[in-house]
Structure 1
Amino acid sequence: MRRRDQDEVAHETTALLAEATGVLAPTADADISEGLAFPLVSNGATDHDKPLPVKQIFLLCYARFVEPIAFFCIFPYINKMAQENGNLADTDVGFYSGLIESLFSLTQMLVMILWGKAADRLGRKPILVFSLVGVTFATAIFGMAKTIWQMILFRCIAGVFAGTIVTIRTMIGEHSTTKTQARAFSLFAFTGNLGISIGPLLGGALANPADQYPRLFGNSQFFKNYPYALPSFAIAFIGLTAVITSALFVEETLQKKPTHGEGESDPSKPAQLSTKELLKAPGVSLALYAYAHIFLLAFSYTAIIPVMWFTPVRLGGYGLTPLQISLLMGLNGVAQAIWVLLVFPPLQHRIGTTGVLKVCGIAYPFFFALNPFFGVLLKGGHGTAFWVLAPLSQVIGCGISMSFTAVQLAINDVSPTPQVLGTLNALSLTGMSGIRAFSPALFTSLFAVGARTQWVWGYAIWVLMTAIAGAWTVVSRYLPDFDGIKKAREVEADRDDTR
């Protein structure tokens, strides 16, 4: 692919062994928003030269930090909490804890488009602050739940306030230019991964404080009655600080600018597109499909790999201890940070967004196919070779996490107008929430069936995963030039501005 002079794009994602989450777009047209990513001419210079507003990016990244820590903080204690609140048998715990998380994602899926449209119409900042308030409240009360149904209700309330991720992704894009998006969205991705790592640590460290820290909390009847309140309160406090900083210091990025007096907008500018019209815009449907396919790979892998690492070698797993699993996951997180922060921006600048997606498309099947190979090494007693090659594979293979950032920038590139940016973000996240709702249960069940029946010696799930990855390899070869779509739109915007 040809080298581009000024088209540098980029963004986030989710940790390969965690949750995927968010990114997006340039934004503005001269009559809609000032100082944004569409090339606006002022005194002979285009807006591409605008420096990255570091303070605003930092504030938005801090607000973004709240969502993953709120989502993942309950993972260390959700099973025990559900068992105690519902008096559940050991065999029923997994069903109810999985139900709680699936309903959270389903709730997000149902409301995501509504939040995106609201952000496009009412502005980014009010939706961001309101959503942060809702997430903070829902997180605070979750630890007070004493029944299964209360746990489900409070978790669904948290899912309702999904407007944070939609608006933050959009605002990051609206503060960026084609020259600064790679850096901005790499920081955005890193913040999400940091929240994914810190959330479970806080949840595990603060759960049941009366037993964990008897000298500090042993005499507190409140924490004996509500053993999971402290982690919820701690996360809610972080959320409250994000509410305050966002309300006081975050700048609105959707600034509508009337041009005909009397508050009228320019009739030559395109009206707000309907969802149907948006889906028909050049490249939009393909970008949304690519987004869904890549996050299907991400979430399915995320669900399978911890189970496989724990499963005995004779059944098709690695038989690792919790400590070994934690070490590999930690290595995975560090490797992803390096790929996203240090490798992705210059690579995307050199070969473009579509080029990165094609390179990752080639790598996906090989990365997945290596997993049964390492299992065969262990079955053959080659433990030393396993511990040399498997970590190396994780470090190199984590490069596919660049596809999360690239595909979210593809969504950014195909946005036909800044007025639909929030809606387009919401559409991509709606699909992602739906995938996150069903994929963990589906793919772990398929892994269990393969291990139980010993199809393909217990590695049947990796045949399926490699096939899904191979399908993405094929699809990626036919992707449009997303950077070209964006550039054509910018040229048209320049032409309109000079008329």
Structure 2
Amino acid sequence: TTPLPIKQLALLALLSLSEQTALNSISPYLPEMIESFPGISHDQVGLYVGLLASAFALAQLATNLLWGYLSDIIGRKPVMLLGTLLLCFCFAAFGFCTRYFHILLVHIAMGLFNGNAAVVPTCLGELTDRSNQSKAFTWLPVVYSLGSITGPALGGLLVGKFARYGYPFLAPNILGASLLALSVVVLGIWFDETLEEQADIPNWVERLPWLSSSTKQAHNGSKRSWSSSEDRVADNEQREATEEDAGEESSLLGEHGDENNNDDPKSSHDTTTWRQLLNRTTIVLLSTHLVFQLSNSSFNSLYPIFASGKTPTGRDLHADVIGVSLSVAGIFTILFQLFLFRPLKSHLGNVRSYRGSLLGFAITMALMPFVGYVDSNPPFGIGDSKIWLYLEIGVVLIIKNICAVGGLSSVMLLITNSAPTHASLGTLNGIAQTLSAAGRSVGPFISGGLFTLSTHVQPKGEALAWGLFAGVALAGWLLSFAIHGEGLESTDDGYEEE
């Protein structure tokens, strides 16, 4: 087993935690913030929340592939630093917004600059191989879960701290911007570039000293532990020798379904590599990834609207209750990720773990509209109706979060292992995140519009939006049975491919 690069992983964890804390801090108070703007009624909040989330994801859709492709050219580190710094400025501005079009513009900018979603998994793929990648890829969803605890808690609890100055939503955004600024400084000093091979550095990069120094560091090369197919379990010297043998590498590329084997190794910029990249396995995998993110983002967008909405369609909960519920569910999710996920995945493997997550999304979205109310009769006449409501919501959120982090871990491993060459890994992750952004742009907009429509449908109008996306997740689960291919499973968790 190849030793894990602890320092590099810790720095990526810091960056991911800061980013997820900042991004997750918005959701608890966003419906309340939007309703406070002039010209927006309570019945319209769901639509405007969905529009905002869709604008963020559409902006990501426009730039994710660019960030991934750019990181293949100039290196991972400069792209992460630039994106995080720009995101920091966006959060500093978000708290000062006093009109809806203000936060819409800032949200679009956040999406445009949020390239780390594509670059961080790429760095993980380059820092690991099949002998240790399950351990490394497990921590990223754990960090996301931590962010789902710290973000909503801070966002819900810090709202109103600067209300006397006319900016009640400023405090959580100042904290988020500070965390991102800290990450830029720490990674700028201590993070080592992971990109070993890259194309010729463009002239415009040479004119920017801060980019030029990072790309030269990447061009000189840092030891890469990720390699393709069977060589991922070899040591660094064996992998380097294999990469120098063009014929051997060409044969390895052929294992991923490319019918046109050539003598020369392919770079990420060749037409042949694009054909290798979009083989049957990756197309099906990317399609289900689109459904996965569509389902996840729809749930994440619907829950605050549903929880804060007026009865009978909503559950009339305050922002602090929503934030705490998300944080408590996040705690249970971390415990699952730390103690149960690896044994479970070692039994199921990457593909079946991912498949089970899609089914879990369908089940939780089907259950959510049937949770109780604050003033409803408690089941069996036992206890308090409010406690039952919190318990029911908590169980659904915990199951959904477990499916989200478990599925995310599995799909990142599947995407990494399906890449035909290490040179194309950044581009493949860019495509994956672009499709992810497409799903996350459609989901919130449709779910917000459907929930607004559901307020006029009785009884159980809330089941309209939840039920539709439960069906979408179920379709993704069925499609996942078409995921097949060599080398998709990891070797460090004890799972043996059939």
* Structure 1 counterpart of 2:196, one-letter code: Q
Q: State the 1:461 CA deviation.
A: 4.0
Tell me, in whole angstroms, the C-alpha distance in 2 between the residues paired with 1:378 and 1:229: 33
Q: State the AA in 1 paired with 2:426.
A: G
1:283 and 1:482 in contact (8 A); partners too? no
Aligned to 2:179: 238
Question: What is the aligned partner in structure 1 of residue 215 from structure 2?
Answer: none
451 and 93 in structure 1: CA distance in 2 versus 1, 3 angstrom threshold = closer
- What's 2:260 paired with? none
User: Is 1:297 matched with 2:295?
Assistant: yes
Give the Å deviation of 1:253: 0.9
Q: What is aligned with 2:194?
A: 253
Query: Relative to 1, partners in 2 of residues 1:392 and 1:206: Cα closer, same or farther, differing over 3 Å?
Result: closer
User: Equivalent residue for 1:490?
Assistant: none
Residue 59 of structure 1 and its aligned partner are, at CA, apart by: 0.5
C-alpha distance 69-173 of structure 1, shift in aligned 2 (>3 A): same
1:55 deviates by: 1.5
Out of 9, 12, 15, which is 1:57 matched to?
Answer: 9
Structure 2 CA distance for aligned equivalents of residues 337 and 370 of structure 1: 22
Q: Could you give the per-residue CA deviations for residues 189-238 of structure 1, whole angstroms, max 9, x where no partner exists?
A: 121222233234444555554446xxxxxxxxxxx366655544332222
| Structure 1 contact 316–375 (Cα < 8 Å) conserved | no
Partner Cα separation in structure 2 for residue 155 and residue 317 of structure 1: 25
| Cα deviation code 1:243-281 (max 9, x no counterpart) | 111111111111127999xxx997832122458525523
Letter in 2 for 1:166: A
**Which digits, 9 at most, give the CA deviation of each residue in 1:284-312, with x for residues without a partner?**
11110111111222122223334444557
**Aligned partners of 2:127 and 2:194 also within 8 Å:** yes
- CA gap 1:90/1:407 in 2 versus in 1, 3 angstroms: same
Of the structure 1 ranges 368-377 and 443-452, higher mean CA displacement relative to structure 2 is found in 368-377
Matched, 1:88 2:85: no
Do structure 1's residue 119 and structure 2's residue 119 form an aligned pair?
no
Contact persistence 2:134–2:490 (CA under 8 A): no
2:330 partner amino acid: G
Q: Cα distance 1:427–1:484, how it changes in 2: closer, same or farther (>3 A)?
A: closer
The answer to whether the 8 Å contact 2:145/2:331 transfers is: no
CA contact (8 A) 2:133 2:490 kept: no
CA distance in structure 1 between the aligned counterparts of 2:6 and 2:128, rounded to whole angstroms: 10
Counterparts of 1:285 and 1:174, CA distance in 2: 22
The counterpart of 1:190, out of the listed 142, 145, 154, is 142
Match of 2:347 among 350, 374, 385: 350
Q: Is 1:453 matched up with 2:457?
A: yes
Letter in 2 for 1:291: H
Aligned counterpart for 2:331 among listed residues 317, 324, 334:
334
Taking structure 2 as the reference length, what is the TM-score of the superposition? 0.72
Distance 2:97 2:392 in 1: 45
Query: What is the CA distance between 1:72 and its match in structure 2?
Result: 3.3
Alignment partner of 1:271 out of 255, 262, 267? 267
Matches within 5 A, 1:360-379: 360-371=357-368, 374=371
The number of residue pairs the alignment matches comes to 423
The answer to whether the 8 Å contact 1:128/1:164 transfers is yes
2:495 is matched with which residue?
Answer: none
The equivalent residue for 1:283 is: 281
Q: Can you give the 5+ residue segments of structure 1 that lack an aligned partner in the other structure? A: 1-48, 213-223, 488-499
Amino acid paired to 2:290 = A
Is the CA contact 1:332–1:394 (under 8 Å) kept in the aligned structure 2? yes
Identity over the aligned pairs, expressed in percent?
25
- Aligned pairs for 1:89-488 (under 5 A) are 89-90=40-41, 98-145=50-97, 148-207=100-159, 209-211=161-163, 224=165, 229-256=170-197, 268-272=264-268, 273-274=270-271, 276-277=274-275, 279-309=277-307, 315=312, 325-326=322-323, 328-371=325-368, 374=371, 382=379, 384=382, 387=388, 391-392=394-395, 394-396=397-399, 398-401=401-404, 402-450=406-454, 452-454=456-458, 459-481=463-485, 483-484=487-488
Deviation at 1:454?
A: 2.7
| Whole-angstrom distance in 2 between the partners of 1:205 and 1:376 | 23
RMSD between aligned alpha carbons?
3.8
TM-score by length of 1: 0.72
